[in-house]
Amino acid sequence: MNEVLLVTRHDGWMELTLNRPERLNAFNEALHAKLAAALEEAGHERWRAVLLSGAGRGFCAGQDLGDRAGAEGPPDLGETLERFYNPLVRRLRRLQKPVVCAVNGVAAGAGANIALACDIVLAARSAKFVQSFAKIGLVPDAGGSFFLPRLVGAARARALVLLGEPVGAEQAEHWGMIWKAVDDTALMTEARALAAHLATQPTQGLALSKAALNASAGNALDEQLNLERDLQRAAGRTPDYREGVAAFVEKRAPRFTGRPA
Ligand code: LHQ
């Protein structure tokens, strides 16, 4: 049987490829389990960045809608979220290193929202994002009702959620839903270069920056100022801060290790 998740270990960073191309990389339990295990491994100090992408012509079509064929009675979709999607979104957000997402093709339903949960999202110009839940009587999940309005604003989020209309990569960039639309043929080269670059950067500082941005959505200014104080205190104690300042003063390129204080 084909591996449902391809894991490629590069120099300091991991590349994770959803690999059910015949189902546009829709999630089943096996894929959830493999991705959870890979993200667990990605938490290890030796990995300093992660790249998530999909095999074939799609990024991810969300939940595999054929997965429960033949099951009796109405499903408990809340339990599916509790067991699989919510832990996945939390893992991506809490991972103490940057997660780059290369959206190589259509990202639908939970697949779209998992992309939005990543830190830096690149998308092939031909890719599109669809909040397809409305088409099958569901509500946006995998954090979509949290991320989408914060990224694109309330008016666009409401229309996208209620209509389920696709948004192309360029529009998504224009709206601030993603970082960048990239030519299809350049996507993976650019995404890999970005992940490789991030893996040479001050990992602890990036992790603390990610924590600050994660908290910002729910904090008032005073709370956020206090948090910045605490995180900066921690960042100022890391070897990479010392190295960054030394390299600046000595007018040379820094050699960051990513090690904790
Ligand atoms: C699929 C799927 C798919 C299985 C394409 N499943 N096979 C969370 C918790 C619990 C439960 C419920 O949900 C959730 C969150 C969710 O994610 S709900 C939303 C689930 N996703 C969708 O509703 C999207 C369904 N897919 C589509 O609307 C289209 O396939 C899109 C717009 C993504 C792509 O359209 P096309 O480019 O025209 O491709 P296609 O429809 O021809 O799909 C290609 C193949 O992939 C096809 O199989 P076949 O054997 O006919 O070639 C599809 O059946 C299969 N596929 N999505 N989610």
Give me the number of domains the chain comprises.
Answer: 2
Asked if 212 and 194 sit in the same domain, the reply is no
Asked if 126 and 172 sit in the same domain, the reply is yes
Which of the listed residues 4, 20, 24 should we mutate to test ligand 1's pocket, taking the one with most ligand atoms within 8 A of CB? 24
Asked if 60 and 163 sit in the same domain, the reply is yes
Asked if 111 and 172 sit in the same domain, the reply is yes
Give the up-direction half-sphere exposure of residue 51: CA atoms within 13 A in the CB hemisphere. Answer: 32
pTM above 0.85, yes or no: yes
**pLDDT, tens digit (0-9, with 9 covering 90-100), for 67-97:** 877 778 889 999 999 999 999 999 999 999 9
Q: Is 201 in the pocket of ligand 1 (CB under 6 A)?
A: no
Asked if 25 and 92 sit in the same domain, the reply is yes
Atom of ligand 1 nearest to the CA of 63: 17
76 token code pair: 């408990």
- Domain-located, residue 237: yes
Q: Is 200 in the pocket of ligand 1 (CB under 6 A)?
A: no
- Domain-located, residue 50: yes
Of 175, 198, 221, the domain-final residue: 198
- Domain residues for the domain of 73 are 5-198
- 252, with CB counted inside 10 A (0-12, 13-18, 19+), is exposed
Q: Is 63 in the pocket of ligand 1 (CB under 6 A)?
A: yes
* CATH number of the domain encompassing residue 19: 3.90.226.10
Q: Is 62 in the pocket of ligand 1 (CB under 6 A)?
A: yes
**Residue 25: strand pairing partners:** none
Asked if 179 and 207 sit in the same domain, the reply is no
Q: Is 134 in the pocket of ligand 1 (CB under 6 A)?
A: no
Q: Considering only CA atoms, which residue is closest to atom 14 of ligand 1?
A: 63
Asked if 82 and 141 sit in the same domain, the reply is yes
Asked if 155 and 238 sit in the same domain, the reply is no
- Using CA atoms, how far residue 165 sits from 130, 133, 159, 207, in Å, is 6, 10, 8, 34
- The answer to whether the beta carbons of residues 89 and 137 sit under 8 Å apart is no
26 token code pair: 């829709």
DSSP 74-117: ---HHHHIIIIIHHHHHHHHH-SS-EEEEE-SEEETHHHHHHHH
- Domain-located, residue 55: yes
Of 157, 178, 198, the domain-final residue: 198
Q: Is 59 in the pocket of ligand 1 (CB under 6 A)?
A: no
**pLDDT, tens digit (0-9, with 9 covering 90-100), for 173-193:** 999 999 999 999 999 999 999
Residue with structure tokens 């008016």?
155
Helix (H) or strand (E) holding 11: none
Please give the distance, rounded to the nearest whole angstrom, from the Cα atom of residue 57 to the centre of ligand 1.
13
Asked if 133 and 58 sit in the same domain, the reply is yes
* CATH number of the domain encompassing residue 244: 1.10.12
Asked if 88 and 207 sit in the same domain, the reply is no
- Domain-located, residue 190: yes
Q: Considering only CA atoms, which residue is closest to atom 36 of ligand 1?
A: 106
- Domain-located, residue 59: yes
What is d(CA 89, CA 142) in angstroms, rounded to the nearest whole number? 6
Please give the distance, rounded to the nearest whole angstrom, from the Cα atom of residue 58 to the centre of ligand 1.
10
Asked if 142 and 219 sit in the same domain, the reply is no
Q: Is 66 in the pocket of ligand 1 (CB under 6 A)?
A: yes
- The answer to whether the beta carbons of residues 29 and 36 sit under 8 Å apart is no
Q: Considering only CA atoms, which residue is closest to atom 10 of ligand 1?
A: 77
pLDDT in tens, the chain (261 residues): 579 999 999 999 999 999 999 999 999 999 999 999 999 999 999 999 999 999 999 999 999 999 877 778 889 999 999 999 999 999 999 999 999 999 999 999 999 999 999 999 999 999 999 999 999 999 999 999 999 999 999 999 999 999 999 999 999 999 999 999 999 999 999 999 999 999 999 999 999 999 999 999 999 999 999 999 999 999 999 999 999 999 999 999 999 999 999
Asked if 227 and 178 sit in the same domain, the reply is no
| CB burial readout 39-78, b (16+ within 10 A) else e | beebeeeebbbbbbbbbbebbbbbbbeeeeeeeeeeeeee
Please give the distance, rounded to the nearest whole angstrom, from the Cα atom of residue 240 to the centre of ligand 1.
44
Q: Is 31 in the pocket of ligand 1 (CB under 6 A)?
A: no
Q: Considering only CA atoms, which residue is closest to atom 7 of ligand 1?
A: 23
- Domain-located, residue 30: yes
Please give the distance, rounded to the nearest whole angstrom, from the Cα atom of residue 61 to the centre of ligand 1.
5
- Domain-located, residue 258: no
Q: Is the dihedral of CA 215, 217, 223, 228 positive or negative?
A: positive
- Domain-located, residue 13: yes
